[in-house]
Amino acid sequence: MNYAGPEAETPAGSGLELTPFRGLRYDPDRVGSLAAVTSPPYDVIVRPDGLLELESADPYNIVRLILPQDGTPEARNRQAADTLRRWLSEGVLATDPEPGLYVYEQRDGDLLQRGVIGNLRLSDPADGVVLPHEDVMPHVIADRAALMRATSANLEPLLLTYRGNGSGYGAAAVIERTTALPPLLSTTTEDGISHRLWAVTDPAELSEIRTDLGRHQALIADGHHRWATYLRLRAEHPSPSPWDYGLVLLVDTVRYPLRVRAIHRLLHRLPIAEALAALGGSFRVRHLEVPLTEALEALASAAAGGNAFLLAGDGTFHLIDRPSPDLLARTVPAEHPEAWRALDATVLHATLLDHVWGIPEDSPAHIAYIHDASATVEKAERDGGTAVLMHPVHEEVVRDLARQGVTMPRKSTSFGPKPASGLVLRALTP
């Protein structure tokens, strides 16, 4: 099938195949509160104090499954599997009585996001049904695969987007009808985002959603590593099997546009003084003794005119921009489209990390990817490293590159709001 972009429709039945499942959900009578057992996705929790806070919020917080703590990876995965089995046997988590799809709503101030959670049949990028837009790191896939093998569960839904056609039929219509009904659960998490969940079990409505989505293709907004993990585990199990499907949240961004934010970098072993010295005049450097909010505004202004980054780690900020054209010509691969070559993430990885600083981008000992700017700066200042703050790329750039089959450098974007982990899980074994 020729891929025509996430906005395109496909012949009926050749697009997304979303199927019902019996969700695993917390019994509200067994936990302190639903908000206390939820968590951000595993890769958003970066600070030890944040992990400790989640573990302390409730003894049944989902973080004990998605980020178990022990001395070795094997011990951590055994712990997660044992914890899941115990919660199931104790009734902390219970299986819904009948299969369904789940309408999920998030509200954050004026932002409203609604979508459908279900089992999505897995497909390869070449099929053009689900399109990734970022590269992935093998060690992260290996880590997530080991956890999913141990637990035989999809513990968190991926966030995928598609472009609906605005009709009054299909998934959009079912979502609107469903959200007028009382929800299965309703809670507000500490970040102020409210969450509501409904089950759709009526055969006619399930068919309406399935038929509609079967004409659409999707873009991975959040969860590239988990999608790659799904594909690896599918290859390990003879088909047909439950591993042919993965847990996802599908959001129509025509109706509910997502926010796009940057993912920042923390260079553990590169002091800020060395990072600046290594530039050697290849970038313009301006030192800013201003609060973080003002520094980020300066970054946004500079990024409007070309590649720009904000470095931190010594108590102040250093805005670098206007890279040498000769340096870019020597370091940025020429075989990619101009839109890819001009990305800040491309210049960061190809020019700064690879050439100027000599930082291996796939080594957790050298680099961390952090969603929160203030957390990145704090860790750099505390540990003597360098924070590299990024300006977010526009969603239309992401989609345009995805249409061309071009993947962006890893961790280039952060779409949101992300689905909370812990509201509904999927078991792959009875």
Model confidence pLDDT, tens digit, residues 62-103: 999 999 999 899 999 999 999 999 999 999 999 999 999 999
Q: What angle do CA 172, 175, 180 make, to 5 degrees?
A: 135
User: What is the C-alpha to C-alpha distance for residues 100 and 210, in angstroms, rounded to an integer?
Assistant: 12
Instruction: Give the pLDDT of residue 11.
Output: 52
In a domain, 6, yes or no: no
Characterize 213-247 residue by residue with b for buried, 16 or more Cβ atoms within 10 angstroms of its Cβ, and e for exposed: bbbbbbbbbbbbbbbbbbbbbbeeeeeeebbbbbb
Cα distance between residue 420 and residue 117, in whole Å:
12
Task: Please say if the pLDDT value at position 49 is more than 80.
Answer: no
Give the rounded percent of residues in the chain with a pLDDT score beyond 90: 73
pLDDT confidence tier of residue 47, bands split at 50, 70 and 90: low
Q: CB under 8 Å to 238, separation ≥6 — which residues? A: none
All residues at 6 or more sequence positions from 11 whose CB lies less than 8 Å from its CB, including other chains = 215
* Same domain assignment for residues 255 and 324: no
Q: Looking at the structure, do residues 31 and 160 belong to the same domain, yes or no?
A: yes
Q: Establish if 2 belongs to a structural domain.
A: no
DSSP state of 425: B
Number of compact structural domains in the chain: 2
Let me know whether 287 and 196 are in one domain: no
Q: Where are the beta strands (DSSP E) in 32-169?
A: 93-95, 101-108, 111-121, 130-131, 153-154, 158-162
Residues 206 and 223 in one domain: yes
Give the mean pLDDT of the chain: 91
CA distance 124 to 179: 33
Q: Could you tell me the pLDDT band of residue 130, with boundaries at 50, 70 and 90?
A: very high
In a domain, 8, yes or no: no
Residue 6's pLDDT is 41
Report the interhelical angle of 171-178 vs 203-213 (nearest 10°). 140
Shared domain for 364 and 255, answered yes or no, is: no
Look at strands 367-370 and 414-416 and give their pairing.
unpaired
Q: Where are the beta strands (DSSP E) in 132-261?
A: 153-154, 158-162, 185-188, 194-200, 218-222, 245-252, 259-261
* Mean pLDDT calculated for residue range 13-42: 92
Q: Say whether both 93 and 136 belong to one domain.
A: yes
Peptide bond into 392 cis (omega under 30): no
- The model's pLDDT over 263-290, given as tens digits with 9 standing for 90+, comes to 999 999 999 999 999 999 999 999 999 9
The answer on 223 and 193 residing in a single domain is yes
Domain annotation covers residue 3: no
Q: Is residue 36 part of a domain?
A: yes
Q: Which domain holds residue 309?
A: 264-411
Which residue in the block uniquely carries the two structure tokens 């750039």? 397
**Do both 28 and 68 map to the same domain?**
yes
Q: Are residues 139 and 279 both part of a single domain?
A: no
Asked if 284 and 388 sit in the same domain, the reply is yes
CATH code of the domain containing 83? 3.90.1530.10
Phi-psi region for residue 422, left (φ > 0), alpha (ψ -120 to 50) or beta?
A: left
Contact 113, 202 (CB under 8 A): no
CATH number at residue 405: 3.30.1760
Let me know whether 223 and 293 are in one domain. no
191 & 48 share domain: yes
